[in-house]
């Protein structure tokens, strides 16, 4: 009996060992398949981390920088930040065009240089008023170029060049994992930098040094990169006039039967497509408005609240600010990390839920609609939290007219609204980008991300106008108004958020109507335009289309091939 038990136990041990080996090998294969990156891509990821540090430690703090160092009024500081973000979003479209024409490598280098020069100016001579706005312009240009997906596309090019097998799905997953990883690392490093450095000038100089270091690392790998094909502007102009001359000669030839079709039919199809998408794009503007208050007024509220990890809220009476005086405090930008994590997780969860039930445009519109519902949650939660914060300010002594004192209320009260804000961006923002990817013609698919960011930028700029209108209307009849000049404790941001909640609810109802109409019209239309109908825009922007019988092969656009880097195992 003892021998049988020993034999059975040894067999069980062998089975367990074999099972564990199989599981380990499966996990390793899965890791190598999706997470293994060529060594040359590590240098590109350094640039991604540098950009994430700049966004987490600098761009997200412009509101507090203008308030702390320049004593800007509440409305002026918020308007400056929103205009900067709006312009960077609008410039994404020409930045994407620049990337398409001159390559990802050039765009990436220019973006990093703009960042570095802007940060150096902020850290050295930003005390001169005019120079401050010069630095902001450079940061806006750097952000616009980096938002054109130049780093992501360049990273994907390297993966395809280094891989012997063409697995587009694998490359896309690896790029997304790399982007998420670099974003998280950059946010963590940026927040550690905020926790250690307590001086704005030193803070900007360190950020500029990190960005310079990552750019130098990127330059080191230049001989090994796969640059791809670069289109020369001179050759493109030459090709255009050469093709125009060939078409003109072809029309006057009597040896072929030439059929000339006016491009009006093609243009009308494109106009019809854009007009059908316009209502959905219009409803997305509300998401841009809500997103703008997350990077301005939400952070300003957090800068006045208690940021300790525990203990008595009344213990700390030091003046609040973004940069910490002690390591026991958490930086306000920890809320931005929560927003990013919420964005990533919401995208994954909604994809897992909808991919098993719905696909195509209907699933994409549902994602956008759920994201807009979260915009209602952002505004309503923000109103409740701000009402509680103001109630604490009124009950405490000497806080109402002393915005520099810490409000005895934990900053973690703001977590729910930042979680909803991240979910809104992950669902509505990425959903609209996927909507553009599905509906736009092939020649415009590369602009899907740029169009999404441009619409967000328009909403951000509209928030400036909307806040200005609310500021003026709230002062009618001699009332104090909702926006105090410098004292956030005297402002009534809870009423601002309440107004935005009403607008967000109406926007959700409007989106439900226009999205349902869009699906109904798409299904019932008997003369649907197709992406092939407007394929003319893929190759040429001529005003006429010429069909020749018999068909003759058209001259392909001459391109200049860049140097291919060697394959690295």
Instruction: Kindly indicate the confidence band of residue 142, based on its pLDDT and cuts at 50, 70 and 90.
Output: very high
pLDDT digits (tens, 9 = 90+) for 489-508: 888 999 999 999 999 999 99
Give the separation between CA 71 and CA 487, rounded to whole angstroms. Answer: 11
C-alpha–C-alpha distance, residues 338 and 345, integer Å: 11
Q: Which residue has 């003109």 as its token pair?
A: 248
For residues 147-175, average pLDDT: 76
Dihedral, 171, 231, 48, 44 alpha carbons, nearest 10: 70
3-class secondary structure, 38: coil
How far apart, in Å, are the Cα atoms of 394 and each of 4, 78, 412?
A: 79, 24, 20
Q: Please report the pLDDT score of residue 353 as a whole number.
A: 76
* Helix, coil or strand: residue 210: helix
SS3 317: coil
Helix axes 361-395, 493-524, angle to 10 degrees: 170
Could you give the percent of the chain with pLDDT greater than 70?
Answer: 74
Q: Residue 545 in 3-state DSSP? A: strand
Tell me whether residue 131 is exposed, middle or buried, using C-beta atoms within 10 angstroms of its C-beta: 0 to 12, 13 to 18, 19 or more.
Answer: middle
305 within 8 A of 410, measured Cβ to Cβ? yes
pLDDT-derived band at 64 (thresholds 50, 70, 90) equals confident
**Six-digit token string for 262:** 């006016």
C-beta neighbour count of 334 within 10 angstroms: 21
Q: Is the dihedral of CA 6, 8, 11, 12 positive or negative?
A: negative
pTM listed for this prediction: 0.78
Using a 10 angstrom Cβ sphere, with 0-12 exposed, 13-18 middle and 19 or more buried, the burial of residue 412 is middle
Element (H, E) at 230: strand 229-230
pLDDT interval class at 155 (50, 70, 90): confident
563/225 Cα distance (integer angstroms): 8
The reply to whether omega before 143 is within 30° of 0 (cis) is: no
Pick the closest to residue 368 from 275, 466, 455, 457 (CA basis).
Answer: 455
Task: Quote the pLDDT of residue 328.
Answer: 61
Task: State residue 129's pLDDT score.
Answer: 60
Lowest mean pLDDT, pick from 165-169, 182-186, 386-390, 411-415: 165-169
- Whether 32-226 and 270-309+328-540 share one fold: the answer is yes
pLDDT value of position 419: 94
Range 49-70 average pLDDT: 85
- pLDDT tens, residue by residue, 429-469: 888 988 998 888 887 888 888 999 999 999 999 999 999 99
Domain boundaries of the chain, sorted by first residue: 32-226, 270-309+328-540
Asked whether 385 and 510 are in contact (CB, 8 A), the reply is: no
**Residues 178-183, mean pLDDT to the nearest whole number:** 84
Please write the tens of the pLDDT for every residue from 306-334. 887 755 555 445 444 444 444 467 778 78
The DSSP H or E segment spanning 470 is helix 448-473
Between strands 257-262 and 544-549, the pairing is antiparallel
Q: How many CB atoms within 10 Å of residue 314?
A: 10
Range with the largest mean pLDDT of 34-43, 70-79, 373-382, 440-449: 373-382
DSSP structure class, residue 126: T
- Considering the four listed CATH numbers 3.60.15.10, 3.30.830.10, 1.20.1250.20, 3.30.420.40, the one that applies to the domain covering 270-309+328-540 is 1.20.1250.20
Neighbours of 318 (CB within 10 A): 12
The overall average pLDDT reported for the chain is 77
| Cβ within 8 Å of residue 154, ≥6 positions away | 44, 104, 105, 108, 225
Which CATH code for domain 32-226? 1.20.1250.20
222-273 pLDDT tens trace: 888 887 654 444 444 444 445 444 444 444 444 444 434 444 455 566 677 7
* Whole-angstrom distance, CA of residue 159 vs CA of residue 104: 14
Count of residues in the chain: 569
């Amino acid at each position: 009996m003892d021998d049988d038990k020993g034999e059975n136990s040894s067999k069980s041990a062998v089975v367990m060992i074999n099972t564990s080996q199989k599981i380990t090998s499966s996990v390793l294969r899965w890791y190598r398949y999706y997470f293994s990156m060529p060594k040359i891509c590590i240098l590109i990821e350094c640039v991604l981390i540098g950009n994430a540090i700049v966004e987490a430690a600098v761009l997200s703090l412009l509101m507090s920088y203008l308030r702390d160092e320049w004593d800007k009024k509440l409305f002026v500081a918020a308007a400056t930040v929103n205009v900067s973000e709006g312009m960077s979003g609008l410039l994404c479209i020409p930045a994407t065009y620049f990337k398409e024409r001159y390559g990802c490598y050039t765009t990436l280098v220019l973006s990093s240089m703009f960042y570095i020069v802007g940060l150096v100016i902020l850290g050295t001579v930003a005390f001169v008023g005019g120079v401050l706005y010069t630095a902001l312009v450079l940061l806006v240009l750097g952000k616009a170029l980096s938002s054109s997906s130049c780093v992501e596309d360049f990273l994907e090019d390297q993966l395809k060049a280094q891989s012997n097998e063409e697995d587009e799905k694998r490359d896309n997953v690896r790029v997304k994992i790399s982007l998420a990883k670099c974003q998280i690392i950059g946010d963590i490093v940026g927040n550690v930098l905020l926790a250690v450095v307590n001086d704005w000038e030193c803070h900007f100089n360190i950020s500029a040094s990190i960005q310079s270091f990552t750019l130098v690392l990127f330059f080191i790998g230049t001989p090994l990169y796969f640059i791809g094909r670069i289109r020369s502007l001179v050759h493109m102009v030459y090709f255009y006039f050469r093709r125009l001359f060939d078409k003109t000669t072809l029309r006057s030839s009597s040896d072929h039967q030439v059929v000339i079709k006016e491009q009006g039919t093609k243009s009308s199809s494109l106009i019809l497509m854009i007009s059908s998408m316009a209502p959905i794009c219009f409803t997305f503007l509300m998401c841009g408005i809500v997103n703008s208050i997350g990077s301005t007024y939400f952070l300003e509220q957090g800068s006045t609240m208690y940021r300790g990890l525990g203990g008595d809220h009344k213990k700390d009476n030091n003046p609040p600010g973004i940069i910490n005086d002690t390591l026991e405090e958490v930086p306000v930008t920890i809320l931005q990390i929560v927003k990013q994590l919420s964005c990533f997780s919401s995208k994954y969860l909604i994809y897992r839920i909808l991919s098993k039930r719905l696909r195509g445009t209907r699933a994409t519109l549902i994602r956008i609609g759920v994201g807009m519902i979260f915009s209602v949650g952002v505004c309503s939660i923000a109103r409740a939290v701000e009402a509680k914060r103001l109630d604490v300010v009124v009950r405490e002594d000497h806080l109402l007219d002393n915005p520099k004192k810490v409000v005895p209320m934990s900053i973690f009260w703001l977590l729910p609204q930042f979680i909803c804000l991240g979910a809104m961006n992950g669902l509505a923002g990425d959903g609209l980008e996927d909507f553009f990817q599905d509906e736009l013609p092939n020649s415009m698919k590369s602009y899907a991300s740029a169009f999404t960011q441009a619409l967000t930028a328009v909403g951000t700029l509209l928030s400036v106008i909307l806040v200005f209108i609310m500021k003026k209307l709230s002062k009618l009849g001699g009332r104090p108004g909702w926006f105090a000049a410098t004292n956030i404790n005297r402002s009534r941001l809870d009423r601002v958020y309440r107004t935005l909640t009403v607008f967000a609810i109406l926007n959700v109802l409007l989106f439900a109507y226009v999205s349902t109409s869009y699906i109904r019209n798409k299904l019932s239309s008997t003369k649907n335009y197709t992406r092939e109908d407007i394929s003319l825009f893929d190759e040429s922007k001529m005003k006429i289309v010429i069909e020749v019988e018999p068909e003759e092969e058209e001259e392909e656009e001459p391109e200049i091939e860049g140097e291919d880097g060697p394959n690295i195992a």
